[in-house]
Amino acid sequence: MSEHKLSHHEEEADDRALFGFWVYLMTDLLMFAVLFAVYAVLHGNTDGGETGRELFKLPLALTNTLILLTSSFTCGIAMIAARKGDKRQTLLWFGATFLLGLAFLALEIFEFYELIHEGHNLGSNAFLSSFFVLLGTHGLHITFGLLWIAVTLGYILKRGLNRHMVRKLTMLSLFWHFLDIVWIFIFTIVYLGAFV
Amino acid sequence: MSHQHVAPQHNNGSEHGTVKSYVIGFLLSLLFTFIPYVIVVNQVVTGTKLLITILGFGVIQAIIQVTFFLHLGRGPKPNWNQFFFVSTIAIILIVVGGSIIIIQNLHYNMSPQDKVKKIANDENIYQVGGKETGACKVIGKNHIVVIRNGEVKPLLTTTKKCDTLSFVNNDDKREITFGAHPNHDVYAGETELVIRKGRSKTITLSEVGTFQFHDHLQPGTAGNFIVKP
Dump pLDDT digits (tens) for B161-205: 999 999 999 999 999 999 988 788 889 888 889 899 999 999 999
CB contact under 8 Å between A184 and B69, yes or no, is no
Q: Provide the ipTM.
A: 0.90
Q: What digits encode the pLDDT tens for the residues A7-26?
A: 778 778 888 888 999 999 99
Which residues have C-beta within 8 Å of that of residue A140, sequence separation ≥ 6? none
CB contact under 8 Å between B55 and A19, yes or no, is no
Distance CA A70, CA B27 (A): 10
Residue of A166, A179, A190, A157 lying closest to A3 (CA atoms): A166
Domain boundaries, chain A: 59-194
Distance CA A142, CA A64 (A): 13
Architecture in CATH of A59-194: Up-down Bundle (1.20)
Residue of A96, A73, A89, A15 lying closest to B3 (CA atoms): A89
Residue of A136, A110, A122, A128 lying closest to A49 (CA atoms): A128
DSSP H helical ranges for chain B: 19-41, 47-68, 80-107, 112-122
Encode B13-37 in three state secondary structure.
CCCCCCHHHHHHHHHHHHHHHHHHH
Closest-approach residue (CA) in chain A for B59: A185
B201-222 average pLDDT score:
92
CB contact under 8 Å between B88 and A30, yes or no, is yes
Higher pLDDT, B202 or B107: B202
> Which residues in chain B have their CB less than 8 angstroms from residue A70's CB?
26
Range with the largest mean pLDDT of A14-23, A71-80, B99-108, B119-128: A71-80
Encode A85-130 in three state secondary structure.
CCHHHHHHHHHHHHHHHHHHHHHHHHHHHHHHHCCCCCCCCHHHHH
Inter-residue contact A6 to B67 (CB < 8 Å): no
Task: Out of A161, A174, A178, name the one closest to residue B6 (CB).
Answer: A161
Predicted local confidence at residue A44, as pLDDT: 87
Predicted local confidence at residue B8, as pLDDT: 42
Residue A126: pLDDT band with limits 50, 70, 90: very high
Q: What is the mean pLDDT of chain A?
A: 93
The fold for domain B114-228 equals Immunoglobulin-like (2.60.40)
Distance CA B124, CA B133 (A): 9
A70-76 average pLDDT score:
97
- Is a pLDDT exceeding 60 seen at residue B10? no
- Is a pLDDT exceeding 70 seen at residue A33? yes
Expressed in angstroms, the distance from the first to the final Cα of chain A is: 60
Q: Are strands B156-160 and B174-178 parallel, antiparallel or unpaired?
A: unpaired
Predicted local confidence at residue A16, as pLDDT: 87
Distance CA B149, CA B90 (A): 44
Predicted local confidence at residue A167, as pLDDT: 92
Predicted local confidence at residue B15, as pLDDT: 58
Distance CA B128, CA B100 (A): 33
Predicted local confidence at residue B118, as pLDDT: 83
The residues pairing with B166 across neighbouring beta strands, listed in sequence order, are B144, B202
The Cα angle at residue B17 between residues B29 and A157, in degrees rounded to 5: 105
Predicted local confidence at residue B151, as pLDDT: 93
- Is a pLDDT exceeding 60 seen at residue B7? no
Number of A/B CB contacts below 8 angstroms equals 161
Distance CA A160, CA A147 (A): 19
CB contact under 8 Å between B13 and A19, yes or no, is yes
User: Is A53 in a helix, a strand, or coil?
Assistant: helix
Inter-residue contact A108 to A64 (CB < 8 Å): yes
Distance CA A45, CA A43 (A): 6
Q: What is the mean pLDDT of chain B?
A: 86
Distance CA A41, CA A185 (A): 15
CB contact under 8 Å between B25 and A76, yes or no, is yes
> Which residues in chain B have their CB less than 8 angstroms from residue A193's CB?
51, 54
Distance CA B27, CA A181 (A): 15
Predicted local confidence at residue A146, as pLDDT: 98
A50-63 average pLDDT score:
95
User: Is B176 in a helix, a strand, or coil?
Assistant: strand
DSSP H helical ranges for B108-161: 112-122
Distance CA A181, CA B2 (A): 35
| Least confident window among A77-86, A173-182, B125-134 | B125-134
Residue of B9, B11, B12, B23 lying closest to B69 (CA atoms): B23
Predicted local confidence at residue A117, as pLDDT: 96
A182-186 average pLDDT score:
97
- Is a pLDDT exceeding 80 seen at residue B9? no
- Is a pLDDT exceeding 50 seen at residue B141? yes
Distance CA B165, CA A178 (A): 58
